[in-house]
Structure 1
Amino acid sequence: MPSDFLNKVAKDADRVIKSTNSSPYRLKKEGSKTAQIRTNTYKTVKLIAFQEDRKMIDVFDELIQIGLNDPKFSKYKNIN
């Protein structure tokens, strides 16, 4: 039986997925860094993430952004 186009594409896609261990549809993987967090804060964020069915990193990011919007940190707002 001759090899058809879809069979070839499926084999190529399978090879690519296995070689990169990531989704071929992901445009870019956003990096993250390790940070030290007090256990109390970690447990609170874990509870929030669980109850809202969200990822912990998203909850942490939102809380940090809220804190950075405080006028006390306004001089750092445009620094990346």
Structure 2
Amino acid sequence: MTNDFLNKVAKDADKAIKANDPSPYRLKKEGSKTAQIRTNTYKMVKLIAFEEDRKMIDVFDELIRLGLSNPKFTKYSK
């Protein structure tokens, strides 16, 4: 009985759990980079994120995109 179906499934499951391969069903995250910002700007964005129940990175992204939509930067827009 050592080679029964449940024993084989248990071995396969154990191997899958220990594997380092990412799941094909996992949503991929968009990468991010570190940037230097002034402390007062950081605190302001932190307050906005808290009050709107959003992630800080999303608030930063929106603010940067709004700034880049300025006509001054149109040559960099896609």
Q: Decide: shared fold, TM above 0.5.
A: yes
Closer, same or farther: CA 51–11 of 1 in aligned 2, 3 Å: farther
Aligned length: 74
Distance 2:50 2:77 in 1: 30
- Greater Cα offset, 25-34 or 7-16: 7-16
Is 1:59 the equivalent of 2:59? Answer: yes
Q: What does the per-residue CA deviation read over 1:11-50, in whole Å, with 9 as the maximum and x for residues that have no partner?
A: 465435xx36x7x433322111110000000000000111
User: Which contiguous aligned blocks of 4+ residues in structure 1 show a shift greater than 3 angstroms?
Assistant: 6-16
Closer, same or farther: CA 39–14 of 1 in aligned 2, 3 Å: same
Distance 1:52 1:9 in 2: 45
Distance 2:62 2:50 in 1: 15
TM-score by length of 1: 0.70
Gapped regions of structure 2 (runs ≥ 5): none
Alignment correspondent of 2:18: 15
- Greater Rg, structure 1 or structure 2? 2
Q: RMSD of the TM alignment (CA)?
A: 2.5
Percent identical among aligned pairs is 67
Closer, same or farther: CA 9–58 of 1 in aligned 2, 3 Å: farther
TM-score by length of 2: 0.72
